[in-house]
Chains A and B, each alone.
Chain A
Amino acid sequence: MQKRFITDKITWTWMLFSLILILTMPLIMGVGLYLKSAPIFEHQSLWQLITGSNWSPTRGNFGFWPFISSSLYVTILSFILAVPVCLFAGIYLTQFASGTLNKIMHPVIDILAGLPSVIYGVWGILIIVPFVSKVLAPFFNVTSSGYSLFAGGIVLAIMCIPYMLNMLIEVFNTVPAGMKEASLALGATYWEAVKHVVVRKSFPGIISAYGLGLAKAFGETIAVMMVVGNRIQVSVNPFEAGYPLPALIANNYGEMLSIPMYDAALMFAALLLLVIILIINLIFRYFIYKATQQ
């Protein structure tokens, strides 16, 4: 056989192998985590695990609700803060800003998106935590140490903004100029052209950028862990401390062997994280599908 054809075959096999590897990775991880966390299901039902609020590993009580709710709270809070900022910043930079401003902003956004999260955490402790305890909390007439769900949400929002903004800029820039021209030629004002054409055309892209941002935010560990207070409680007050799921795993991984079931519980936490992020992804895929259908 000729060498070219052998190369061709090898390349093909290699590509196929990589593909299968990538496709089965989440499956392998899911199955692995499930097997490792299986013992805890003999102990407590899935429903009890997810909705229970009582967390006392030494007594064998594993209720994950404080962690799940903290995670959801911080993520949703960060999202409420980040979504409008990203949208308007993205529209402004791609549709209104001068070329010079763009030349300055793009590298800045890239750098911010690439910073390790521990830096955001340190920065959160230095700036956001005091800001929450000294400015925000008094403003709302509550006392807070600053290490709170609110601080976690703000830090997370600031982390996610450059990440999502980068994608949004990409998305807005793919709208062809001719489409905007068409809308203007029909009598739209510039803002109407942006709203009716650029934003509308980008809609599936906007959703997918936000979906990726949300999944990333939900799994973010270090930065949030540093400012959120890490107290196990279910709270609706954003000035109270919380304890997100990723922080639980990161904080307790070392000591897990000494208490029975603890390792299984932490594996279950990881499984939960995986499943929730999968669900977020599926929901956003569905929205994207819906949006592209229109």
Chain B
Amino acid sequence: MSVTIGSGHEGNVREQINAYKARVKGGEMGALPSVLSLFVLTVLFSALNPYFLTEGNFANLLTQTATLMMIAMALVFVILIAEIDLSAGVTSGVAMALFIIMTNRWGIDWRLSILAGLLCGMAIGGIIGFFVAKVGVPSFVVTLGLFLGFQGLQLALLGDGGIYRIEVPEIRAIMNDNLPAWLGWTFLLVGWSLMALLGFYDRRVRSRNGLANRPISLMYSKLAIVGVVGAALVALLNTNRSTSIKEISGVPIVVPIAVTILFLGTLLLDRTRFGRHLYAVGGNPEAARRSGIKVVKIRIIAFVLCSSLAVISGIFNASRVGAVEATAGKAIVLSGVAAAVVGGVSLFGGRGRLIHAAVGALVIAIIDNGLGLIGLPAGINFLVTGGVLILAATVDAVSRKRSAAAR
């Protein structure tokens, strides 16, 4: 039997572009607005301040963003099911408090301590998930309660105003050391090759099933863009950005870590049954249940993933600060939500990707960084970030309406 219904993969480049435009008009904007604002902001700030586009500021920006990016990506898992985790930040704080007590006070191996921190995060996520999915307490309330409670727990663990220096060089290195030039290039090459391989593999399986493929030139263009942009970034980071005699160059170690997590998380969401079910639960929990999906289980796993990734953001933060404080993680969680929403993750659930959160975090970090450089009075960046957030949420709400009206 010949299949006559299309799949959106048919047609030449022009038709593909038109179809994309139609989807955007229909309300499926994805990361487009945030990528555009990223571009506009970059042009704007580099025009206003020559230091903005320097290697030094660029590396700075990346490490500034890493913590926010990680917690925003963590939050995507719960925002996708239309829930929230206000305690993600302090959860990472508690996990890091455990870590620092194990390494500094008890002298336990740092790897074991990191593992304990991650397990601690998973357990907290499991508890939140239990109360939300099984008992039915709104996630806003559960996690607000933990947000308050864990601040107390952090104080109890580390003492009032407690600050513990991180003595583990491996942890300090994440945010403060760089890959040697050759390793940066290797990482780019490996990542780029993986992307190409995956693309070719998908095309082959499709044609083996007798399905149409998009014009191959589209894939070449995508690979070319990623290759060129990636190469430019690595080259930029591999130049000396030190203002003193000691050379500083190379891709910060945090970059490959964050990119790897982004890659694996995206595979999980796009290509596994769990990912599919997570989106289904976010889109229509009742439909998911009737399709035989174990909704409670999916929800709990979402919270476990969120809390675990939040702990990784806590590690990044501790590495950057060089210490674990009793107040760690308190401030960042709302910025994380903002980053996800600005990037195009829908608070209504069911729509959004990890890359959106990453781009959203970059937008917020650039606003912060850029406004700081032009030397506007402190506080302006809060106003601007808040405005951008409301704008993004409005775009989300309007595009939802539009796709509902498009029928």
The answer to whether A binds B is no
